[in-house]
Amino acid sequence: MRRLAGRIRPYAWGSRSAIARLQGRPVPSDGPEAELWLGAHPRDPATVDGTSLADLIAAEPERLLGGAVVARFGPRLPYLMKVLAAAAPLSLQAHPDAEQARERFAAGHPSYVDAYHKPEMLVAVSDFEALCGFRDPAAAAAVLSTLDAPALDPVLSALGRGDLRTAVAGLIELPAAVVTEATAAPDAPELVRRLAALYPGDPGALVAQLLNHVTLAPGEAIWMPAGNLHAYLDGTGVEIMAASDNVLRGGLTPKPVDVAELLRVLRFEVLDDPVVRPEPVSPGIVTWPAPVEEFVLHRVRPAGGVVELPVTGPRVVLCAAGEVTVDDGAGAVQLAGGEAAFAAAGPAGLSFEGAGEAYVASVPA
């Protein structure tokens, strides 16, 4: 095991308390801290003894990743773990599938920064509010009809037919003045008013009403496959994803949006229940099932005893609370809250002791 120093991304929507408190630093922090990256993505790789994990892997991919991982994914860590701390809503967004990412990146499309897909899952550490996946069109129509805006009539008609594609396109292309008028309705739902106050005239405040609005309890998760329209609103969570930074935004952001490409990759399917519950693996260990080959996430709570987790590929361990000692068979490290470690691929699994809580990212066998 080797200690891993993550990289903090200071996006404007970030919290000034969550990551600092996790790491035992003074609160509030000097500025917003949105994400703590714990991986080898080239945009912000974590470091081991001051050296980029990406550089270490590039120098010895077979030793650090194992031959099976290199054969499947090439000489790169195929996942990225993050701590995400949202104090304000993130952009309305979706991610491409693997084929779309390869094709569009190869063609030089400006909205693609790499050739990989980005399926992702977020596990709530605090209560976590999010929008995830399309809900029943009739339920969305019931909300939008309260705005009493004639400009929304074609959208309501599309929703009545179950035509989510036409409804999304109709909303996302509304002029700012029309959006402002619609969201100012006296009976507008609280979420409409909240998003419109943060992003005046942004049609994302209306598109958001087509999505499932959930509040996760700690330990619950949401799974976001390719083409899933979503937005995080508030809270702290551990996020695990395929190692990509391809994001197609459609609103609720000052960053560039690409409506045409977003509409091209979206999957207009109703997601009845976006919440993923933890499944027990063995005493002290749970996981959240996700149909993806790049990553698997476990939570380990030793509770004062010894817990064995039999994952042997390249592993990233984050201590999320208390203290844990983790051993990969080649050496042990003690981690306090907010500290992390990297274990190269090897024949032994991981052994945990202590009274804390750890999240472990690895590659499925």
Decide: helix, strand or coil at residue 124: strand
Alpha carbons 325 and 230: distance in angstroms, whole number:
36
Neighbours of 256 (CB within 10 A): 8
First to last CA, the chain: 20
Alpha carbons 131 and 33: distance in angstroms, whole number:
21
- Give just the sign of the alpha carbon dihedral 38, 55, 120, 311: negative
Alpha carbons 18 and 32: distance in angstroms, whole number:
10
Specify whether 63 is catalytic.
Answer: no
Which residue is catalytic, options 21, 76, 249, 299?
249
Alpha carbons 112 and 274: distance in angstroms, whole number:
26
Neighbours of 355 (CB within 10 A): 13
Collect all residues with Cβ–Cβ distance below 8 Å to 331 and sequence separation of at least 6.
Answer: 1
CA dihedral 171, 172, 177, 182 (to 10 degrees): 30
Length of the chain: 365
- Give just the sign of the alpha carbon dihedral 42, 43, 48, 51: positive
Taking alpha carbons only, the member of 111, 129, 182 closest to residue 153 is 182
Alpha carbons 76 and 151: distance in angstroms, whole number:
49
Alpha carbons 259 and 346: distance in angstroms, whole number:
45
Inter-residue contact 230 to 118 (CB < 8 Å): no
Taking alpha carbons only, the member of 247, 161, 154 closest to residue 206 is 154
Q: List, by residue number, the catalytic residues.
A: 249
